[in-house]
Amino acid sequence: MTPVQSVLHLHDLDLLLHELQDAEALACFKRLGLPIGPLAPLEAARREAAERVDPRWRHHYDRAQRRYGGAVAAVRGRTCQGCHMTLPRSAAPAAGEMLALCESCGRILYWGVRSNA
Amino acid sequence: MLGTLAPSALDTALYIPDLRHRRKSAVFDELVDCAVASGAVRCDPALRELLRCRESLGSTSPGRGFALPHARSLAVRSTRVVVARSGRGVDWGAADGELVHLIVLLLSPSECPESAHLDLLGRLGNALRFQRQRQKMLEAGGFETIASLLREELA
């Protein structure tokens, strides 16, 4: 995985872990006949994913994760999907990069393919 | 009703009439490739890995020949449903040991609230609950028939 993919994967795993610790979600899976086993493999995958994240982003990730429970926000229509603030043009990452920090909320912004973000 | 589904979430571009592969991991790749080709996904390695991690916790097939894999991910642009059929069947590790012939993959963007994602998942599960409905989907000549059967539950 690339450094960007590692950050996204860590975020997705945290979302999944949160979901699987929620009683309503577990009840939904049970109703659907989708049993959930022990979370240990997922927690191990989370640890591995965290180790792969560049320390520069890991610091911001951990801080935003503690604060919001979701450290990365997608950018759609130049709006941070975490705090819903319109981002200034200067917030865009350098050419060839896909991550930046939201100056408003501190979440890591995922710009994706810039022309489609 | 929490989850809302845009008409574009069920699209013929997200339909695989007969899967090429029979191994679950290869089928996941086929499903994600389809979502990428339709423009629904923008970072497929992260999504592939997430689906594999979810599956490692327990099969997403409740048995009876269908599977309901699902993911909320930053890689997903907007909520989409990928529908795939397999004439030969896929070993999805279901508790009843039956091969899976119908797969409905729910993809939600990470900003989709958990409750909305689960609501949609539950309604997709309802749409697949009855053998008669599943049989209609398996015998459908085209995607529109399948889509209308799913929309009945999702509307």
- Nearest CA to CA, how far is B140 from chain A (Å)? 24
The three-class DSSP label of residue A75 is: strand
- Nearest CA to CA, how far is B21 from chain A (Å)? 23
Give the integer Cα–Cα distance in Å for B22 and A96.
37
CB contact under 8 A, A8 and B114: no
CB under 8 Å, gap of 24 or more: what pairs does B49-52 form? B49/A1, B49/A9, B50/A9, B50/A12, B50/A13, B50/A16, B50/B75, B52/B25, B52/B28
Which amino acid is present at B154? L
pLDDT of residue A117: 36
A24 touches chain B (CB under 8 A): yes
Give the integer Cα–Cα distance in Å for A41 and A39.
6
A37 touches chain B (CB under 8 A): yes
How many CB atoms are located within 10 Å of the residue B1 CB?
Answer: 9
CB contact under 8 A, B53 and A16: yes
- Nearest CA to CA, how far is B17 from chain A (Å)? 24
Q: What is the DSSP string of chain B?
A: ------GGGS-GGGEESS-S--SHHHHHHHHHHHHHHTT-BS-HHHHHHHHHHHHHTS-S--BTTEE--EEEETTBSS-EEEEEEEEEEE----TT-PPEEEEEEEEEETTS-HHHHHHHHHHHHHHTTSHHHHHHHHH-SSHHHHHHHHHHHH-
Give the integer Cα–Cα distance in Å for B50 and B1.
27
- Whole-model pTM: value is 0.92
Structure tokens at B147: 């889509």
pLDDT of residue B3: 58
Give the integer Cα–Cα distance in Å for B113 and B110.
8
Q: Compare all CA atoms of chain A with the CA of B120 and give the residue at the minimum distance.
A: A28
CB contact under 8 A, B122 and A110: no
pLDDT band with cut points at 50, 70 and 90 for residue B8 = confident
A5 touches chain B (CB under 8 A): yes
pLDDT tens, B16-29? 999 999 999 999 99
CB contact under 8 A, B58 and A4: no
Average pLDDT, chain B: 93
What residue spans define the domains of chain A?
Answer: 3-116
pLDDT tens, A7-29? 999 999 999 999 999 999 999 99
Highest mean pLDDT, choosing among A33-37, A109-113, B4-8, B40-44: A33-37
pLDDT band with cut points at 50, 70 and 90 for residue B4 = low
Q: A11: burial class by Cβ within 10 Å (0-12, 13-18, 19+)?
A: buried
Q: Compare all CA atoms of chain A with the CA of B76 and give the residue at the minimum distance.
A: A74
pLDDT over threshold 70, residue B2: no
Judge whether A85 and A102 are in contact, CB under 8 Å.
yes
CB contact under 8 A, B43 and A20: no
pLDDT tens, A41-72? 999 999 999 999 999 899 999 999 999 999 99
Query: Does 3.20.20.60 match the CATH number of domain B7-154?
Result: no
pLDDT tens, A76-109? 889 999 999 999 988 888 877 889 999 999 999 9
Give the integer Cα–Cα distance in Å for A50 and A17.
14
Q: Compare all CA atoms of chain A with the CA of B53 and give the residue at the minimum distance.
A: A42
- Nearest CA to CA, how far is A99 from chain B (Å)? 12
CB contact under 8 A, A42 and B74: no
pLDDT of residue A116: 39
pLDDT tens, B103-154? 999 999 999 999 999 999 999 999 999 999 999 999 999 999 999 999 988 8
A-B contacts at Cβ under 8 angstroms: 101
Residues 51-110 of A with CB under 8 A from B: 70, 72-74, 81-82, 110
